[in-house]
Chain A
């Protein structure tokens, strides 16, 4: 995906305005009841829900799959068709303006209580309005909170933009009343694990494609697949991505415009839940009563929220020269598409690009920057030093192209105090020292419980660092590669860099095939902040800015430690074959012991998310193999291979493969 919009990744500052301001000054009810006049794509009028569903059920595609499924299962086709209709009924949205209005009204109330302001970029809205009239639009927000899509629909309603049709997870539907409200606000529901259910895939994909083809409303989906518990971007999922692109591949629409939407919160509503989930404490099932209980959430202050609508990315422009659309000429377009390797690679690249764009456009809070220093000082840090380091990091972040919401009219110390106050549940200042706050509970506590409490605070804090992690990823990875490369020669550092990129591919988002650009970007960043000089193809750290290198390397340290410790645990005798569940619990137990004994330092090693990522990485790199035994995934570990990766990560072995010629 070489020229995949290098210019697209450049950050530009845009002006944001607060949409709650008007709500605080005028009537919510008249806002909810005002004339809503969206300009849809090509003046397409929304088909009725019935008509849309009929279109889907009677499509050539579904008829074909139904016949196929019937032939395979021996069931009569009518039954399969009924089954398909049932799936569709359960899935389909039922967008009704009246409900949008109801939602608009209640959301005005709720948002005003929750947030000080909701900032939206004006240009983004103008571009979106234009885009919606030109081509089918796909809204691709990042997913950090349950309320993400409510906010989006609310903004669209407020600015007379077609209300999107939203792909939501089935669990939401489980909440009886709320589920119905969401459905009528345009949500359609997708089962979490579809697996090999052919009929389900068929209904879903045809449903999505039909909406894109008719273009009566933007389609909104989370390319990351699920809500990120770590607030870090997730490796994109490709199923829906391919579905929304298919109508373009097949020429059924001229183009499809992908709009990255970056949502960031000063403070996430679910912050405590997140840490618990990461520690393996089961998350509460999403029920209506559960949500009502959560209303104490409403009494807290969540600061500001930012929604940045990125520039629409044209699927056509991306596909130019990369996808031969003629490949679909010889088979009826209504038949299932067997995506060629070339096409899958393209879809994968597009999905990654969109996640990168979400990251690039994200507006970061001062708090995010403060957490970097907080996490690097487990024993707490002096306020002055925190201020000093955070301001230094701010300069660095701006140099690396980050968008910051750092109020210019306030003194820096005031900004930071404010942030700290907002996050009083995570950190507090006592006698000039800032420290993480540990959960209080009934004592006395066991050693293990103490570890959990400590880890919960760290993970909560880490999630805010994760929001800004992408800003530093590439320079940090170059810095890390330099410290462990065989030599400071560019080719050696690059080889090392590639190894780290491959290992962390589930952890950090890299566009596949962009290693060279990523490396260059990292080097550029380091050079800009004066920490690196490159002469004669040799990378050297400058004396003056050695601290920068150390700081950047330290950012990645918790991840490295987790990867190392998981490798170490996997190399132990007792690990031969295991399930994902037993893997997580064994690793957790082992890590707790190591934390208690002091052999492991970072509490982030307890993040089940990172642990899983290690497993996927090892699987991807062939050190772990997966087989299906009795309806369950069984993993088998190759200790020699794991050990080699572990040693390579520790810098004791130079990575193989990867030639410099790619530079």
Chain B
């Protein structure tokens, strides 16, 4: 089944192409209100010419009311077949023949029942900006780019929580920032923060805009002028230190640009959160992000060597780049996870690694989820986890199958049939219980192959069967098209969301079962007509536990207030997670969505500590997004 040695350099490149192939068309930069001015404060040794930055007018290339690029979306064509548009992704332009049946079968949805979004932003629905005139004047004088266009402001008024996107699709606009500013370097930020303090305006840092914690929502009770500080123009790699293997980077750079530019010099950070196409370095730091390949490269807190942050009190940074220090509590840990409440991260020194010589996907089928978890636990125990190892439950396995593109040859479909026969009939796996782990190995070729064998040997002890590279790769693809799929669902009365937690090993199974069950029951109790999709996967392994990711979606036909129902169910699910020993969040952060549980999560004293830091650093609450505390 498992074709051992086939070269997979291609697939690694594919993945990079997939997530990087955007922005070949040069974005227009002709903003009327903007006076772009190159920062001269620091000399750049990187090659900025090649980098295609995120445009200031993001809505020119990205959806204003959905996920990702405007040209890429799922749709059901006239024949009722699902296809993915655009040219950016591996799936782009392909037909997905089984998606319709899965979609209708899983949700009880029907292609006749559409719930289309408002086609365009109704500019007149956007409240006029509440500007602090003298602040604006001084900013202009300082030469900082800014805009008060409704499109720009609306784009920065939200993250990607379901309720945020749902409201936009319905054309409902609530409180939005009054002004958007684009600093182009650290010194610009210093100026902006100084002026904000002087004129008492509220600043909300904005990086990639991929938040799923309501972190970007403007607090409705905020009466001051709200200024969205968009870091996207601070996107340069300022230097690369090949002796220490570090890179000093402006915090506005987005994941795929950072990775691509480092690749050009033969390096990578290896930090690949699922949102890396759009999320920014500063955002990672501010939310304590986690990357898919953390087993090799570490999470953001392991990757960061030095951080520079501008606060109302001034700039905070360490004086050297020693790899570890005993200098009291690590001040980086006040910054990481501060979610924009203390200041703006402007520059970060990160570890880098040479681009790996060899990369290989893989997958393992287990007879059931229990066996799969036991295997992952053993892999963690032996500390031999590949760059990434993820275990999907049965529902997600079936979901993954629904995303299989049309097979090109009879031979492939014959092979697929044979595999299915082998697994279900010959090996006796129940197709309604089996589940799949997807793997990604990285390193030099020899070691990868050796490592691969070690992992497959462990898997065999838990009844696991190697199921090929293809399945593995498709599993990872699912990760970043899922957000696009949600938009498709919303076109047909299906709403959904994902959320995550981390939990000790011995509780993984219980937590997964209880949370999934809770979701199903809460939906039923709240009048959801069809059983919801309630599925999970284990996405990261640690020595003492794992990260678990839940997908939850349902058909909301017949509900008068679907978002309210949705929020209640998500709330109940989070309660269930906490009751089962799961954390409030593994990497999404707290934002405003999970704030109510912070005290319980870190104790009253813990919360008091954080509050006292906030009080010292930002006594006037200039960074007033009201996240976290």
- The answer to whether A329 touches B517, judged by C-beta atoms less than 8 angstroms apart, is no
25 residue pairs bridging A and B, Cβ less than 8 Å apart: A251-B507, A251-B510, A251-B511, A251-B514, A251-B579, A251-B580, A251-B581, A252-B510, A254-B513, A254-B514, A254-B517, A254-B518, A324-B579, A325-B579, A325-B580, A326-B578, A326-B579, A326-B581, A326-B600, A328-B581, A329-B581, A332-B506, A333-B506, A333-B507, A334-B506
Bound-state Cα–Cα, A251 to B576, Å: 9
Q: Which residues on A sit within 8 Å (CB–CB) of B513? A: 254
Q: Which residues on A sit within 8 Å (CB–CB) of B518? A: 254
Bound-state Cα–Cα, A203 to B580, Å: 25
Q: Which residues on B sit within 8 Å (CB–CB) of A333? A: 506-507
- Least CB distance from A64 to B in Å reads 14
- How would residues 307 to 330 of chain A score, 1 for a CB under 8 Å from any chain B CB and 0 otherwise? 000000000000000001110110
- How would residues 511 to 550 of chain B score, 1 for a CB under 8 Å from any chain A CB and 0 otherwise? 1011001100000000000000000000000000000000
Bound-state Cα–Cα, A253 to B513, Å: 8
Which chain A residue has the least Cβ–Cβ distance from B578?
A326
Bound-state Cα–Cα, A332 to B518, Å: 23
Q: Which residues on A sit within 8 Å (CB–CB) of B600? A: 326
- Least CB distance from B428 to A in Å reads 15
Q: Please give the number of chain B residues whose Cβ is less than 8 angstroms from any Cβ of chain A in the complex.
A: 13
Bound-state Cα–Cα, A329 to B510, Å: 13
Bound-state Cα–Cα, A329 to B511, Å: 12
Which chain B residue has the least Cβ–Cβ distance from A334?
B506
- Least CB distance from B156 to A in Å reads 36
Bound-state Cα–Cα, A18 to B511, Å: 44
Q: Which residues on A sit within 8 Å (CB–CB) of B517? A: 254
**Main SS class of interface, A:** loop
- How would residues 60 to 92 of chain A score, 1 for a CB under 8 Å from any chain B CB and 0 otherwise? 000000000000000000000000000000000
Closest 5 CB pairs of A and B: A325-B579, A251-B580, A329-B581, A254-B517, A251-B510
- Least CB distance from A484 to B in Å reads 47
- Least CB distance from B259 to A in Å reads 37
Which chain A residue has the least Cβ–Cβ distance from B581?
A329
- Least CB distance from B268 to A in Å reads 37
Which chain A residue has the least Cβ–Cβ distance from B509?
A252
**A-B contacts, CB under 8 A, total:** 25
- Least CB distance from B86 to A in Å reads 42
Within B489-518, the residues touching A (CB, 8 Å) are 506-507, 510-511, 513-514, 517-518
Which chain B residue has the least Cβ–Cβ distance from A250?
B510
Bound-state Cα–Cα, A332 to B579, Å: 14
Bound-state Cα–Cα, A328 to B517, Å: 20
Bound-state Cα–Cα, A537 to B580, Å: 48
- How would residues 246 to 259 of chain A score, 1 for a CB under 8 Å from any chain B CB and 0 otherwise? 00000110100000
- Least CB distance from B416 to A in Å reads 28
Interface on B for A, CB 8 Å cutoff?
A: 506-507, 510-511, 513-514, 517-518, 578-581, 600
Bound-state Cα–Cα, A329 to B580, Å: 7
Q: Which residues on A sit within 8 Å (CB–CB) of B580? A: 251, 325
Q: Which residues on B sit within 8 Å (CB–CB) of A324? A: 579
Within A333-374, the residues touching B (CB, 8 Å) are 333-334
Within A583-615, the residues touching B (CB, 8 Å) are none
Bound-state Cα–Cα, A517 to B581, Å: 36
**Main SS class of interface, B:** helix
Q: Which residues on B sit within 8 Å (CB–CB) of A325? A: 579-580
Which chain B residue has the least Cβ–Cβ distance from A252?
B510
Bound-state Cα–Cα, A326 to B600, Å: 10
Beyond contacts A326-B600, A328-B581, A329-B581: 6 other A-B pairs, Cβ-Cβ < 8 A, are A251-B514, A254-B518, A325-B579, A326-B578, A332-B506, A334-B506
Bound-state Cα–Cα, A325 to B513, Å: 16
Bound-state Cα–Cα, A190 to B513, Å: 32
Which chain B residue has the least Cβ–Cβ distance from A42?
B513
- Least CB distance from A393 to B in Å reads 42
Bound-state Cα–Cα, A326 to B597, Å: 12
Which chain A residue has the least Cβ–Cβ distance from B513?
A254
Within A250-277, the residues touching B (CB, 8 Å) are 251-252, 254
- How would residues 287 to 324 of chain A score, 1 for a CB under 8 Å from any chain B CB and 0 otherwise? 00000000000000000000000000000000000001
- Least CB distance from B279 to A in Å reads 30
- Least CB distance from B139 to A in Å reads 47
Bound-state Cα–Cα, A251 to B518, Å: 12
- Least CB distance from B520 to A in Å reads 10
Centre residue among B507, B511, B578 by max chain A CB count within 10 A:
B507
- How would residues 231 to 256 of chain A score, 1 for a CB under 8 Å from any chain B CB and 0 otherwise? 00000000000000000000110100
Bound-state Cα–Cα, A251 to B508, Å: 11
Bound-state Cα–Cα, A328 to B511, Å: 13
Q: Which residues on B sit within 8 Å (CB–CB) of A254? A: 513-514, 517-518
Bound-state Cα–Cα, A251 to B503, Å: 13
Bound-state Cα–Cα, A515 to B251, Å: 64
Bound-state Cα–Cα, A328 to B510, Å: 13
Q: Which residues on B sit within 8 Å (CB–CB) of A326? A: 578-579, 581, 600
Bound-state Cα–Cα, A254 to B515, Å: 9
Within A519-566, the residues touching B (CB, 8 Å) are none
Q: Which residues on A sit within 8 Å (CB–CB) of B511? A: 251
Bound-state Cα–Cα, A19 to B506, Å: 46
Bound-state Cα–Cα, A326 to B578, Å: 6
Q: Which residues on A sit within 8 Å (CB–CB) of B506? A: 332-334
Which chain B residue has the least Cβ–Cβ distance from A328?
B581
Which chain B residue has the least Cβ–Cβ distance from A255?
B517
Bound-state Cα–Cα, A328 to B506, Å: 13
- Least CB distance from A634 to B in Å reads 45
- Least CB distance from B185 to A in Å reads 45
Bound-state Cα–Cα, A328 to B600, Å: 14
Which chain B residue has the least Cβ–Cβ distance from A135?
B517
Bound-state Cα–Cα, A332 to B504, Å: 10
Bound-state Cα–Cα, A324 to B581, Å: 11
Bound-state Cα–Cα, A254 to B581, Å: 14
- Least CB distance from B598 to A in Å reads 14
- Least CB distance from B395 to A in Å reads 16
Bound-state Cα–Cα, A407 to B149, Å: 83
Bound-state Cα–Cα, A225 to B243, Å: 75
Bound-state Cα–Cα, A252 to B507, Å: 8
Bound-state Cα–Cα, A326 to B584, Å: 12
Bound-state Cα–Cα, A288 to B542, Å: 59
Bound-state Cα–Cα, A325 to B580, Å: 7
- Least CB distance from B583 to A in Å reads 10
- Least CB distance from A325 to B in Å reads 4
Q: Which residues on B sit within 8 Å (CB–CB) of A328? A: 581
- Least CB distance from B508 to A in Å reads 11
- Least CB distance from B381 to A in Å reads 16
Bound-state Cα–Cα, A20 to B506, Å: 48
Centre residue among A324, A329, A334 by max chain B CB count within 10 A:
A329
Bound-state Cα–Cα, A251 to B582, Å: 11
Centre residue among A254, A324, A332, A334 by max chain B CB count within 10 A:
A254
Which chain A residue has the least Cβ–Cβ distance from B503?
A329
Bound-state Cα–Cα, A324 to B580, Å: 10
Bound-state Cα–Cα, A251 to B513, Å: 9
Which chain A residue has the least Cβ–Cβ distance from B579?
A325
Bound-state Cα–Cα, A162 to B441, Å: 47
Which chain B residue has the least Cβ–Cβ distance from A319?
B579
Bound-state Cα–Cα, A378 to B156, Å: 88
Q: Which residues on A sit within 8 Å (CB–CB) of B510? A: 251-252
Bound-state Cα–Cα, A127 to B511, Å: 27
- Least CB distance from B420 to A in Å reads 23
Which chain B residue has the least Cβ–Cβ distance from A213?
B510
Bound-state Cα–Cα, A333 to B581, Å: 10
- Least CB distance from B597 to A in Å reads 10
Bound-state Cα–Cα, A329 to B577, Å: 11
Bound-state Cα–Cα, A189 to B510, Å: 30
Bound-state Cα–Cα, A325 to B575, Å: 10
- Least CB distance from B411 to A in Å reads 38
Bound-state Cα–Cα, A324 to B575, Å: 10
- Least CB distance from A394 to B in Å reads 40
Bound-state Cα–Cα, A136 to B465, Å: 32
Bound-state Cα–Cα, A254 to B510, Å: 8
Bound-state Cα–Cα, A334 to B506, Å: 10
